[in-house]
Amino acid sequence: MNIDWKEALGALKDSGDIPVDNTPDPIAEESETYKGQTEPLRVIVERKGRKGKTATIIEGFICPEERLEEIAKILKQKLGTGGSARGGEILIQGDRKEDVKNILKNLGMKVKG
């Protein structure tokens, strides 16, 4: 007996045995958390000193390092890319300037750049 996993999953969905994910959208949940950032953030794309690789840099954060790491984690998850947070700025791999600006605006932050 060879059952396709897609058919088995479909049968579970139809029967209601799979619980529905009712967790709130992280962007909506986080938008209240990050409104404390009063200064606009600058989003720039840079290649210099990175062996020809492009990086998107967000600078101008006025927050504790833990909060900076939380914001970086959200950005990396939403964009599906790597990056880091240190020294009051976040580095995201690749040219993702417009995507980063949209996510930060959805988090309730002012963005320039």
For residue 103, give the CATH number of its domain: 3.30.780.10
pTM for the whole thing? 0.66
Task: Note whether residue 94 is domain-resident.
Answer: yes
Cβ partners under 8 Å of residue 48, min gap 6: none
Task: Note whether residue 14 is domain-resident.
Answer: no
Quick one: pLDDT band at residue 31, thresholds 50, 70, 90?
very low
DSSP assignment of 20-64: P--PPPHHHHHHTTTTT--SPEEEEEE-TTTTT--EEEEE---S-
**Above 80 in pLDDT, residue 1?**
no
Q: How many helices (H) and strands (E) does the chain have?
A: 4, 5
Q: Which domain holds residue 77?
A: 24-112
Task: Note whether residue 17 is domain-resident.
Answer: no
Task: Note whether residue 1 is domain-resident.
Answer: no
Work out the number of other CB atoms within 10 angstroms of the CB of residue 55: 20
In the chain, the number of structural domains is 1
Structure tokens at 107: 């988090």
Per-residue model confidence as pLDDT tens digits over 73-105: 999 999 999 999 988 899 999 999 999 999 999
